[in-house]
A and B are shown apart, each in its own frame.
Chain A
Amino acid sequence: MRDSASFDEFYASTARQAVAYVYAVTGDLAEAEDAVAEAYARAWQRWARIGAYEDPAGWVRRVAYRVAVSSWRRTRNRVLAHRRSGPVSPVPELNPDTVAVVEALRQIPAVQRRAIMLHYVFGLSVQEIADETDSSVSAVKQRLSRGRQALAPLLGEETVEEVDLHA
């Protein structure tokens, strides 16, 4: 039996952060919103099972990422956007620093973007990131380290020396 109240509560408390994550990874806010909505729709289909997971937000995050990076979907959405003749829904005004951060993230590899967001925003351990991204622990450590090194100059920071990563 699916419990709509618990799903709605889960959605309200986690969906916005999921959008931020997908936006950080893809650099496209509309795409992120769309992918997240799709991922939650799938979660609702299986809510009796997924709602019992230890980390249902992780499941949604993973699905939203896969939906967002699906090449045909991105192509299709671009085509649909191009065909639209009516008024385009307004893009929310973001803080200039937010725009600067996403611009910086765009300049590092996607695997590093994912690792950086999962570690520094969602607080996942290296092992947890490895599980979520189907990578090895050493690969995740390397991505975090290199990601930070690459982001530092892009964000006007000093170069980092060494990163202490708790696995």
Chain B
Amino acid sequence: MPDNLVERLTAFTRDVSDSARLVPAGAVRTKGDRRKVQLVGVTAVTAGVVTAVTGVAVTTTVGGGGGAGTTAAAGTIPGELVMPHEGEAGWTRDDNPQVAGVFQPCTGHDVSLPGRTDARTMAGPGRAGEEEHSPTVITNQLFLYGSESDAKAVMENLNADIGRCGWLGGTATGTVYGRYVVMAWDFVEPSPPITRVLAFRRGNAIYVSNVVVSGALMSSGDYEAVEEMGWRLCAVLDLCEPQLCYSPRPSPSAPVEARCPPAEDPSPNPTMSTDPSPVYPTADPTVVPTSAPPPYESASPIPTP
């Protein structure tokens, strides 16, 4: 029947096209512009939250990450690597290594699966104080891959899908979570629910924190868990990375002031001392990286369950 089907589909398309109630182009542009202003505001809030928690500024840029890193020898996540929120009320743990990735920028396209050797998923509510006005579902996933290049490909694919399927965000460099970070927001409309995602890679491990907020827009993400996982990956899997440390660019109104505390224990980490990456890339001209001692050296070991 070539092509009665084609003819009917063509007639269908023509009829729908003629009948479609389109918003004027100017209104569409206004909507897009309004969203852009909102994104700037929320990005600033996000950066503010992280700065308040850690005392380190966050810059978000679009660009690729690179460089060498360490790779966990084990193909499976060891039992002593405790996930943030384990044992907390309302939280559940899933050890399925092939569990679907919670963050799929293009629905149905799970880029987290190829090369994955193990996974842990923790799902639960937001903070007690925020739940009343902003019901939140947090899903945090730790993925381990067979090689660093597998994990790197996952991050690149996430970044590509964010752009391809209309999310806001992308690869972020120069964050407190390390060099290889992807951030995304799904602001379909100014009203919630809103999905906010932060994923970072350390060697062959990727940690994804996916937060869906159904109430007030400004509910915070699960940044503490993200930061905590960075420390635990270093302590348990030896996937370490020197933390970024910034000072403002000198100017008449803003004198230079390093924000990183001095090192308590200057003993170098052998892994990091061989890292050829000289400085952490940043596209934000308002901040300049300063060399800082690796923070993980002085970190308290995590409690063994």
Contacts and interface: CB of A to CB of B under 8 A. Distances in A.
B8 to A, nearest CB: 6
Mostly helix, strand, loop or mixed at chain B's interface? helix
Contact of A134 (B4, B23, B108, B168): B108
A137 interface: no
A139 interface: no
Chain B interface category by residue count: 35 or more
B165 A62 contact: yes
A157 B1 contact: yes
A126 to B, nearest CB: 16
A101 B8 contact: yes
Contacts of B165: 62-63, 66
Interface string A1-37: 0001001100110011101110110000100110011
Contacts of A24: 9, 12-13, 16
B274 interface: no
A45 B163 CA distance: 12
Contact of A121 (B1, B4, B10, B22): B10
The 10 closest A-B pairs by CB, nearest first: A63-B166, A16-B17, A44-B32, A92-B19, A20-B16, A41-B32, A19-B20, A134-B109, A41-B31, A8-B25
Given A11-B28, A12-B25, A24-B13, 8 more contacts: A16-B17, A20-B17, A24-B9, A40-B25, A41-B28, A45-B168, A92-B21, A95-B11
23 contacts: A11-B25, A16-B16, A16-B18, A17-B13, A19-B20, A24-B9, A29-B16, A29-B19, A33-B20, A41-B32, A41-B35, A42-B32, A43-B32, A45-B33, A62-B106, A66-B106, A66-B166, A89-B21, A92-B19, A97-B8, A121-B9, A155-B4, A155-B5
